[in-house]
Structure 1
Amino acid sequence: MLKEAGKRIGHLYPKAPLPSGDKAPVIAWIWSRTVTCPNPACGAAAPLIRSFSISTKSAKEVWARPIPEGKGVRFEIARGNGAPETGTVCRTGATCLVCASPIPLDYVRSQGKAQRLGAQLVAIVAEGQRERVYLPASEKHVRAAAVPRPDDVPTTEIPNNPRYLTAPNYGLTHHSDLFTNRQLTALTTFSDLVMEARARVLADGGEPAYADAVATYLGFVVDRLADYSSALCSWHSSRDIVRNTFARQALPMIWDYAEVNPFSSSSGNVQGAIDWVAEVIERVPAGPPGTASQVDATALPSAATPVVVSTDPPYYDNIGYADLADFFYVWLRRSIGGLYSDLFATVLTPKVAELVADPYRSGGKESAKHKFELGFSDAFQKLQRAADPAVPMTIFYAFKQAGTAGGDGLVSTGWETMLQGLLNGGLAITGTWPLRTELSNRPRGQASNALASSVVIVCRPRCVTAAVIDRKGFIAELKAKLPTALRELQEGLIAPVDLAQAASPVPA
């Protein structure tokens, strides 16, 4: 597949000339979006750039030096100290590098919605003998990227939810808008080659099931490539690599984006995506066949025997995963949708039955809260009836959300709603086990009070004859038992941010 793609579109990714006279494969092109300066006396194409730094490695700093020229700005490659501390974009707007006029954020948004944002090549990152080589933009590489938009691209619309989908605020309203024309050309090419590879397996005498498996895994490769091949990817200056689209669970607007070369031997390439999928396949443990079904938790098929329930449920007012999954779904549907017509029957992922307290989808916060609580309790009532009473139910929880301050202090709305939903579902919480699962180096975990570990909530059906305790008695029990329990948790190296969740068993 990689070889055939190189024949079809390899010419769109020219090598870059090095100072030595040799040529080297490009790793990434760093682009900046531009907007016309609103100052009538200027009207320059103003770069919207988050940071001028390209590499911040100690003693090897590289940055793009802006040089205003006429109605625009060109960039030189500078080394050492001296990079401006901030770019041209901030939360309230931008600044024109030509005339220093402020550019309001509302103006940038209006220009984006009118499809008047441009793009300017800032720098080129190429493969060197022992390290990255940073080169200034060239007209040849600008022309190489100026390809027509392919016809057969996903034209599906991105939902309007500014909490974690901010790109539509700037005119990127469809999934195809999240990619440059060259990226769309590459992704459609690789997507087409998935089914061509399947046909090749069949032509070579392979079994249909094997051909389907090959196509499925190649479809995953295309999806992983899409994650590293959108105009929402940024350049990681401290590591000198491309940061993928979903560095966090959102589709934010990225002003200076990195466009990878899928044929390079470095960050974000196709071979890396293939190796990633292959490594997963190789490491999947051998075992008896399993069955996975995509069904509503409130409409579980009846089982001949009681089942063991272990689940990671949706979190109150958290990320709308269905909205974000559309980014991958549209490409997977294009690549292998014909093999799984039941799973890809809809143009976008089904969202009506998704259990999430989304005010934009439910018509307000109160309506969203009510819908979530009802659905959550209903699901666990049905799970409790299907579960084997001899085996505890386990629920994984790894979400920290602070709500509003109440009479007793700060309330974690997500955690409180989760516990109340379990109790309403007829369950008693008998234990909470902290489980270290979250990466400390993930963007969400860096410089934030993110959970250091997940919490496994252990539940059993609540006994109908369980005693009832009043508030006074409950507080007395807490005062008697909590100090000792907290000491045990601290001695067990439980992170401070996890203590509240780890100390939450509710006795039956």
Structure 2
Amino acid sequence: ISNELNPVAWLLNKVILEYAPIVGSIEEDIQTWVSSIEEYTSEELDDFFPDRNGVSPSHYFRAYSITCPSCGDPLPISNRWYFNRRRNAAVYPKVEDGELNFDIIDPEEAETREGYDPNQGTVSGGDAECPHCGVVTERSDLVKIFKNGDFEFEVCGVRYEDDIGGKRYYPPTEEDVKAIEKANEKVSSNLRLSTILSTDRYEGYYDRAVPYGIEQWRDVYSPRQLLAHATYLEAFEQVKPEIQSQYEEEKANLILILLSFISVKLIRRSSRLNPITPRRGSPDNMLGNNNFSFQWHFGESNLTVGTYSYESESKNVLESYEEVVQYVSHVEEPATVYQGDAANLPCDDGSIQSVVIDPPYGDNVMYAEISDAFYVWFREYLGDVFSETFADQETNKQDEAVENPIIVNPDEDESTSEVARERYEEKMGEVFSEAYRVLEQGGTLTIYFTDKEIEAWDSLTMSIIQSGFIISATHTITSEVPYRVGVQENASADSTLLLTCRKPKREPSDRNPTLWRDIKDRTREVAREKAAELLESDH
């Protein structure tokens, strides 16, 4: 069996462990529905992404503007203006006769523009300096402006790419501006578009978007981005009844899940929370830092063409699925995938031979919090297919085993971080105790743990010991890609410790004191040694 609290991760497990062994390859079947969705969305979105001399746009450099409180001129808002350094393309904002426009210039031309540096925008340290009058709008005032919605979305530059000309960068045309206005009008006048994702966002400890007015999930997107994502949902809903009537339940559900994966993955690089990466000139990952950070400029993708299009994501998803099928082709009896709290498993006492757990890493990643970005879309796509799983407005954060300062209530003389750590230890203890309950005597518990923080190791080993396990072996393996964003400059290591524990064949009469006396010192010693190895590893 498999168990996962988070519905987003549960969907992945459902595909890999349950549907893939049963259904097998579906490449030919699903490609038909991918083509249907592409055909519909391309036609519906064509007018909102105008081409240039027959070449379709792939990405946009988007930013904001406000009215300068001092001089009254438009104040363009961005923390830098480089579109693509390697292609020598930078955005140059200019105000003429009270009207804001944008050019695309190269570094040589940039040097001739007085007071302009493409590496620096109008925003620094959260304050915005007007390039016309030089007056600074402080962060606190800027936050109020954005929170009240007193800003405009701007399209500052457009990237086009084709097989002949490659990648080219141009300033927005009048047609681009009109397309934005048309998208705004459609979103505001259409009942569904004007209400979709109008649910309040959970404001986590590391959330830096809510203060700037991104309070509902629809606020994560500009109007045209929201329109594009909703159009793919609309196309999905048109083919859903045909899929459900044409295939048996398992295969139909699998196809629907994979189609939803393709569409929902698109949000990562077309939202207000993903910046433009200047070394590539394309949108970066919305969750590259494992949190929701407000961006002073953002990338927008044309989802119908280019690097981060529906077609591109469909290839990635389908190739990954077919690879999974090869790995599980020998499986005769697929796993049953449950969605729920690991501290309350649907298993009898002593009925399991082995348990494998990949636990959360203390306060390193707030999984439930960041997965809400995907959950709200999966709820739109699959809420009627898996009604119980997606019944709630957001993911379950109260039962999540992480050090979340938001969900604890410390006394006046207590530290929030210490109480969060205690709650994490308590929750992990409940999970390990449940594993102890369902394991047969002599059964094994294997734990994957990847973290550089010594305190996280202490919490983990304390929970294991107090649950009654004997730690019998440790192994270190390379498990993370070193250049992956989530590994760089944070608490994640690029290696994983496999910690193997065993449930005693005989139940000790005085479990905790005996284990604590005999094992505590050695366990902590091993844990600290392994943590030091991970810190020093070059993998």
| Shorter-normalised TM range | 0.7 to 0.9
Are 1:31 and 2:35 an aligned pair?
Answer: no
User: Which runs of structure 2 are paired with 1:480-495 in the superposition (5 Å)?
Assistant: none
Distance 1:153 1:301 in 2: 36
Residue 395 (structure 1) aligns with: 447
* Matched-pair contact (CA < 8 Å) for 1:198–1:212: no
Match of 2:45 among 3, 9, 12: 9
Are 1:142 and 2:180 an aligned pair?
Answer: no
Q: Secondary structure at the match of 1:86?
A: coil
Distance 1:93 1:430 in 2: 55
- Whichever residue aligns with residue 100 of structure 1, its letter is G
Distance 1:6 1:178 in 2: 23
- The alpha-carbon distance between structure 1 residues 139 and 497, as it changes in their structure 2 partners (threshold 3 A), is farther
Residue 409 (structure 1) aligns with: none
- Whichever residue aligns with residue 323 of structure 1, its letter is E
Q: Secondary structure at the match of 1:293?
A: strand
Residue 51 (structure 1) aligns with: 80
Distance apart, 1:177 and its partner CA? 0.3
Alignment coverage as a number of residue pairs:
468
Match of 1:413 among 455, 469, 479: 455
* Matched-pair contact (CA < 8 Å) for 2:465–2:515: no
- The alpha-carbon distance between structure 1 residues 363 and 30, as it changes in their structure 2 partners (threshold 3 A), is same
Structure 1 stretches lacking a partner, 5+ long: 17-21, 402-411, 503-508
- Whichever residue aligns with residue 61 of structure 1, its letter is N
Residue 268 (structure 1) aligns with: 308
- The alpha-carbon distance between structure 1 residues 470 and 95, as it changes in their structure 2 partners (threshold 3 A), is same
Residue 391 (structure 2) aligns with: 345
Distance apart, 1:389 and its partner CA? 4.2
- Whichever residue aligns with residue 451 of structure 1, its letter is A
Residue 64 (structure 1) aligns with: 91
- Whichever residue aligns with residue 46 of structure 2, its letter is G
Residue 505 (structure 1) aligns with: none
Q: Secondary structure at the match of 2:498?
A: strand
Distance 1:434 1:79 in 2: 49
* Matched-pair contact (CA < 8 Å) for 1:32–1:49: yes
Distance 2:248 2:500 in 1: 45
* Matched-pair contact (CA < 8 Å) for 1:35–1:108: no
Distance 2:145 2:89 in 1: 31
Distance apart, 1:497 and its partner CA? 3.6
User: Which runs of structure 2 are paired with 1:418-429 in the superposition (5 Å)?
Assistant: 418-429=460-471
Give CA deviations for 1:234-264 in whole Å, capped at 9, x if unaligned.
2222123321312231111011111110111
Superposed CA RMSD: 3.0
Are 1:359 and 2:405 an aligned pair?
Answer: yes
Match of 1:160 among 187, 203, 209: 203
Match of 1:314 among 354, 360, 370: 360
Distance 1:282 1:474 in 2: 44
Distance apart, 1:457 and its partner CA? 2.1
* Matched-pair contact (CA < 8 Å) for 1:71–1:98: no
Distance 1:110 1:393 in 2: 51
Match of 1:77 among 74, 81, 104: 104
Distance apart, 1:293 and its partner CA? 0.4
Residue 506 (structure 1) aligns with: none
- The alpha-carbon distance between structure 1 residues 196 and 30, as it changes in their structure 2 partners (threshold 3 A), is same
- Whichever residue aligns with residue 484 of structure 2, its letter is R
- The alpha-carbon distance between structure 1 residues 307 and 156, as it changes in their structure 2 partners (threshold 3 A), is farther
Match of 1:185 among 223, 227, 234: 227
* Matched-pair contact (CA < 8 Å) for 1:198–1:214: no
- The alpha-carbon distance between structure 1 residues 371 and 469, as it changes in their structure 2 partners (threshold 3 A), is closer
TM-score w.r.t. length of structure 2: 0.79
Match of 1:224 among 257, 265, 275: 265
- Whichever residue aligns with residue 312 of structure 1, its letter is D
* Matched-pair contact (CA < 8 Å) for 1:72–1:98: no
- Whichever residue aligns with residue 261 of structure 1, its letter is N
Give CA deviations for 1:458-486 in whole Å, capped at 9, x if unaligned.
22247756694799x979x97xx99xx89
Are 1:280 and 2:316 an aligned pair?
Answer: no
Distance apart, 1:72 and its partner CA? 5.4
Distance apart, 1:195 and its partner CA? 2.9
Distance 1:90 1:61 in 2: 23
Distance 2:54 2:455 in 1: 57
Distance 1:232 1:321 in 2: 17
Distance apart, 1:333 and its partner CA? 0.9
* Matched-pair contact (CA < 8 Å) for 1:315–1:356: yes
- Whichever residue aligns with residue 134 of structure 1, its letter is Y
Are 1:236 and 2:300 an aligned pair?
Answer: no
Residue 413 (structure 2) aligns with: none
* Matched-pair contact (CA < 8 Å) for 2:376–2:393: yes
Distance apart, 1:433 and its partner CA? 2.3
* Matched-pair contact (CA < 8 Å) for 2:435–2:445: no
Are 1:212 and 2:239 an aligned pair?
Answer: no
- Whichever residue aligns with residue 339 of structure 2, its letter is Q
Q: Which has the larger share of helix? A: 2
- The alpha-carbon distance between structure 1 residues 449 and 156, as it changes in their structure 2 partners (threshold 3 A), is closer
Residue 440 (structure 1) aligns with: 482
Give CA deviations for 1:22-80 in whole Å, capped at 9, x if unaligned.
331101111112233232xx1222222122111122xx322123334344543221124
Greater RCO (Cα-Cα under 8 Å, separation 6 or more): 2
Are 1:293 and 2:367 an aligned pair?
Answer: no
Distance apart, 1:193 and its partner CA? 2.1
Tell me the percent identity. 22
Q: Secondary structure at the match of 1:298?
A: coil
